[in-house]
Amino acid sequence: MRRLPIYFVLDVSESMVGENLKKLDDGINSIIRTLRQDPYALETVHVGVIAFAGKARTIVPLIEVASFYPPKLPIGSGTSLGRALFHLMAELDKSVDKTTLEHKGDWKPIIYLITDGKPTDSVSSAVAKWKSDYANRATLIAIALGRFADTGVLKQLTEHALILENTTDEDFKLFYSWITDSVKSQSKSVSDIPSDDANLAKLDETILSLVKDTMDFRKVDPDYVILTGRCQRTRLPYLMKYERNTQQVKHQDFSMVATNYTISGCYPLGEEYFEWSDTGNGQLKVNTSELLGTPGCPHCGNISAFAICACGGIMCLNGLGTAVCPWCEKEVTFSIGSGDDEGFDVNRAQG
């Protein structure tokens, strides 16, 4: 039996925390559920999942649809697209059965690469290798989620570079049914008229459009700030997400635009967060005076998840006094601040 390998290569960087990660989870579930009811897909489709943040790993090795069990998606720091591509190429070499003169191997694999950010590693050698050695052996569909993804690099990779500009529930639903329809039509077509040509479902251009012009690639900051903290008691990490507010402030003599960020969620993570993270290049700063709202610790219930040690690490705290910093292991004493409102800079995540 010739298999039709379908890979999902998913960006699980910090910016995906919360709603988007849940939508990705739900999406994979709904795609698999529908494929399980399709006789052609059941017979030919095998699904694999690769996740990438700072690191890239296979979280579900290629497996038939009937036996696929949806994975728990991790979260990590960084968007190492270069690493993800090298990992994908190694995975294809390892898992996909090649066609030779004497032997018919698997059908041409189809890869859905989904990202919402800009690469934080170097991608040029991975892109060059993909184009010279893999682009004709696999169909790559690269999808930019939202307005802040680097569509330019996706367009370099493949002619099938798409953007899902709005990420409402309804848009996501249509997006996943487009993927499902494409997989179904491909599995039917390899059964009917054996051919490796990709059969993608028709695009609804109001939802998902081809990346045509990347001149308007946005270099501005995204609409959020994400900070990584660590629970003092459990030592486990968490992410605090702040969303941008822009207000027009009008006075008698002048008007100005004020920007700040309001807390929108605080998400507990497991220790594996560090295994998925790229350490050492998180030098983006934000001033605390721009951040509104302090969540409680999602792990231990301490009233504040936002105490900062002299080492720069963010930790949870339950009032003033002495605590051991879970980042640098030193004892810190928190006392009432000097009362000025200038704030100070803290490290923000790379997104």
Q: Percentage helix, strand, coil, to 5, in the chain?
A: 25, 30, 45
Residues 224-253 as x/- pattern, contact with Zn ion by CB under 5 A: -------x----------------------
Which of 73, 328 has the CB closer to Zn ion? 328
Tokens 């953007």 correspond to 163
Backbone φ/ψ region at 18: left (φ over 0), alpha (ψ -120 to 50), beta: left
**5, 117, 282, 313: residue in contact with Zn ion (rule CB under 5 A):** 313
> Counting contacts by CB under 5 A, is residue 41 touching Zn ion?
no
Q: Which residues contact 201 (CB under 8 A, 6 or more apart)?
A: 178, 181, 182, 185
Site string for Zn ion, 287-306 (x = CB under 5 A): ----------x-xx-x----
Nearer to Zn ion, 203 or 300 (CB): 300
**Residue 203 interacting with Zn ion (CB under 5 A):** no
Q: Kindly give the pairing relationship between strand 208-210 and strand 160-164.
A: antiparallel
Can you read off the two tokens belonging to residue 218? 């946005």
Nearer to Zn ion (CB atom), residue 149 or residue 332: 332
Contact with Zn ion (CB under 5 A) among 42, 60, 203, 328: 328
Nearest CB to Zn ion, comparing residues 134 and 327: 327
* Least CB distance to Zn ion at residue 228 (A): 13
CB atoms within 10 A of CB 285: 10
Stretch in the footprint of Zn ion (CB under 5 A) among 71-79, 105-113, 164-172, 328-336: 328-336
Q: Which residues from 83-122 bind Zn ion, rule CB under 5 A?
A: none
Q: Alpha-carbon distance 176 to 167, whole Å?
A: 12
**The one among 21, 45, 309, 317 contacting Zn ion by CB under 5 A:** 309
Rounded to the nearest 10 degrees, how much is the dihedral formed by the CA atoms of 113, 117, 121, 122?
A: 70
Please spell the DSSP secondary structure of 250-270, one letter per residue: E-SS-EEEEEEEEEEEEEE--
Q: How far is the CB of 115 from Zn ion (least distance, A)?
A: 31
Question: Shortest approach of Zn ion to residue 292 CB, angstroms?
Answer: 21
| Residue 323 sits in the site that holds Zn ion (CB under 5 A) | no
Q: Decide: is 123 part of the binding site for Zn ion (CB under 5 A).
A: no
- Closest to Zn ion by CB, 12 vs 323, is 323
Nearest Cα residue to 320 out of 332, 311, 338: 332
Cα 152 to Cα 276: distance, rounded to the nearest angstrom: 25
- Of the candidates 134, 267, 274, 327, which one interacts with Zn ion according to CB under 5 A? 327
Which of 162, 179, 316, 323 forms a contact with Zn ion (CB under 5 A)? 316
- Whole-angstrom Cα distance, residue 239 to residue 316? 12
Nearer to Zn ion, 57 or 233 (CB): 233
Nearer to Zn ion, 183 or 325 (CB): 325
114: Cβ contacts below 8 Å, ≥ 6 apart = 8, 9, 10, 11, 24, 143, 145
Q: Determine which residue in the list 325, 348, 350, 351 makes contact with Zn ion, applying CB under 5 A.
A: 325
Q: Which is nearer to Zn ion, 117 or 326 (CB)?
A: 326
| Eight-class DSSP state of 201 | P
In the block, residue with structure tokens 């005076």: 289
Nearer to Zn ion, 210 or 311 (CB): 311
Residues binding Zn ion (CB under 5 A) = 231, 297, 299-300, 302, 309, 311, 313, 316, 325, 327-328
